[in-house]
Amino acid sequence: MAASGSAVGLGNIWKFPYMAGENGGAAFFIIYLALVFTIGLSVMLCEFVIGRAAQRNPVGAYGILKGGAWKYVGFLGVAAGFIILSFYSVVAGWAIAYIFKSVSGLLATSDPAALGALFKNFTADPWEPILYHGIFMALTVAVIIGGVNGGIERTSKILMPLLFLLLVVLAVRSLTLPGAMAGLKFYLAPDFSKVTGATLNGALSQAFFSLSLGMGALMTYGSYLSRSVNLIKTTMLITLCDTAVAFLAGLVILPAVFAFSFDPSAGPGLVFITLPAVFAKMPLGIVFAVLFFVLLSIAALTSSVSLLEVVVAYFVDERGWQRRRAATIGGGVIFLLGIPSSLSLGVWSGFTIGGKEFLSAMDYVGSNILLPVGGIAVSLFVGWVIYPRALDEATGGGAHRFQLAPVWRFICRYVAPIAVGWILVSGL
């Protein structure tokens, strides 16, 4: 449950719809599915296997299973933790802020211009979003220090199904809006002539980001699992859950985008601009809006905890720090690192890196470069370096059936490194 909590988060509900919107809709979605159910599944199993076999954080895990240069792959994961959580927390802060904006009735309109302006004014403010970013980081640190991972797990068990149900209700509302069918067609009727290198690259980075792969988050969680847990089943379940939530989020957002004539390639603001319009067209819209943003914030929290856990587990296991110290200092540094991301939608919007404003640049470095590189390393490591042991770990010493093991090995050895490497390089 905790690993599903890690996977299901802003990546599914905030990022997936706008990535699909920016990258041609259905073609993106189909490529995304293909990548998730081949490479994504395989890499996830690799991470669980490595983590549980080594019983350590990513740096320690590579160190103990093989050592040498492999340790640096673990460091890459820790670095990715810093980078990804820094902007992730900013966006999660937006979700918290939107709880209050929903309550105050500020969002009760379906006018694209008004909702766009509201989002722009809010994110451009130099203080307010940073305050919420701080609140979200503090919550994340508190969960990690309190060691209330058990609490997180119990919370996920109840609230994630609720989020799912809410998305179903919203999808029904969205799909029955006049003009919604154009959005459905955009989302589900592929036009492969629109596929470019950017589509592939976007789908790949989204797959890694959404499934929490490539930086050792699931490796860290794997290290807390007992030998009796069936990793193969767990991997399947998490992947299905994560994909179902992303699919639903697309089914909510994209039809609404077309129904209200928003711009599908509006980028990171898309969900925050589009959804309030849907709520405004529902009975008890404010209640649904508050519920939605509360659940989204919690979904983000169960993901951010796993991001910070990678950083903290490293400092605790390898550097001998106290958990409290690691969480506070790590969280503090990540908070500071997030400030330029927050400002990049306002006063610092003129400062760009490679044509992207700071928040998107951080996302790009984390999701399009570090996670895929981590994914290549993980699959090479399992496929070539520790395979017999990895298979034994995956099957729990032969206790669990794994008929697709040869396919897994083939994907780890060849398909994942070559495909991910190729997409990564062509994307750059």
Which residues lie near ligand PFF (CB under 6 A)? 6-7, 9-12, 84, 209-210, 212, 215, 217, 303, 306-307
Q: How far is the CB of 29 from ligand PFF (least distance, A)?
A: 16
- Closest approach of Cβ 185 to ligand PFF, in Å? 26
> Is 17 within 8 Å of 253 (Cβ atoms)?
yes
* Cα(24)–Cα(191) distance, integer angstroms: 8
Among 303, 331, 317, smallest CA distance to 5 is for 303
Between residues 6 and 110, which has the closer beta carbon with respect to ligand PFF? 6
Nearer to ligand PFF, 84 or 252 (CB): 84
Min dist CB 162 to ligand PFF, Å, is 17
Smallest gap from Cβ 260 to ligand PFF, in A, equals 25
C-alpha distances in Å from residue 232, one per residue of 171, 217, 236, 292:
31, 17, 6, 32
Nearer to ligand PFF, 54 or 307 (CB): 307
Helices then strands, each counted (H, E), the chain: 22, 2
For residue 48 the two structure tokens come to: 């669980």
Q: How far is the CB of 378 from ligand PFF (least distance, A)?
A: 12
Is 359 within 8 Å of 344 (Cβ atoms)?
A: yes
Pick between residue 205 and residue 344 the one whose CB is nearest to ligand PFF.
Answer: 205
Closer to ligand PFF at the Cβ: 12 or 379? 12
Helix (H, G, I), strand (E, B) or coil at 356: strand
Closer residue to ligand PFF, CB minimum distance, 199 or 302: 302
Phi, psi of 337 (to 5 degrees): -65, -25
* 306/379 with CB nearer ligand PFF: 306
C-beta of 15 vs 409, nearer to ligand PFF: 15
For residue 78, the minimal CB distance to ligand PFF (Å) is: 11
Please state the closest distance from residue 142 (CB atom) to ligand PFF, in A. 18
Query: With the C-alpha atoms ordered 39, 42, 45, 51, is the resulting torsion angle positive or negative?
Result: negative
Q: Which two tokens stand for residue 199?
A: 């589509």
Q: Which parts of 214-321 fold into alpha helices (H)?
A: 217-223, 231-259, 270-280, 285-319
For residue 24, give Cα distances in angstroms to 20, 30, 267.
6, 11, 13
Angle formed by the axes of helices 387-394 and 231-259, nearest 10° = 80
The token duo for 221 is: 């969680």
Give the CB-nearest residue to ligand PFF: 11
CB 205, min distance to ligand PFF, A: 11
The residue (of 173 and 242) whose beta carbon lies closer to ligand PFF is 242
Angle (nearest 5°) at CA 331 between 124 and 157: 95
